[in-house]
Amino acid sequence: MYMKKRVIKGKDKVSSSALSSAINDLSLEIKSLSKEKSNLKNILNEVLSNIDVDHGKEKELQEKIAKLIEKEASLNQKKKDLQTKIEKVSDKMNKITKIKSEMSDV
C-alpha cells in the first residue's frame, strides 16, 4: 500500500494528526490483543494438557475398577463354594449325630 504524499495544509494537518493518532491507537490495541491471544493460547494448551493427563488417570482408574470387579466375582464364587461345602459338612454332621443317637438307643 503505497500512498502518494500530499502537502498538508491547515485543516488537513489536524485531520492527518487525528488519523495518525487513531492509527497509533489501533496499532497499540492490535498489539494488546495479540498478547492477550497469545496468553489465551498458552492457557488453552495448558488446559488441553491437563485434560490429557486426566484422561490418562481416568483410563488407569477404569482398568483398576475392572480388575477389582473381576477379583470381587472370584471372591464371591469362592464364598459360594465354601457355603456349599459348609452345608455338606453340616448335613454330614447331622447324619452322624442321628446315627449316633440311633446307636445309643439300641
pTM: 0.57
- What's the farthest any 2 CA atoms get from each other in the chain? 142
Q: CB within 8 A of 81, min separation 6: which ones? A: none
Length of the chain: 106
Give the chain's residues under pLDDT 50: 1-2, 7-8
Q: CB within 8 A of 8, min separation 6: which ones? A: 16
For the chain, the structural domain boundaries read 14-79
Question: Cell digits for 98?
Answer: 442321628
Q: How far apart are CA 106 and CA 95, in angstroms?
A: 17
Write out pLDDT tens, residues 21-40.
999 999 999 999 999 999 99
Question: Cell digits for 87?
Answer: 452345608
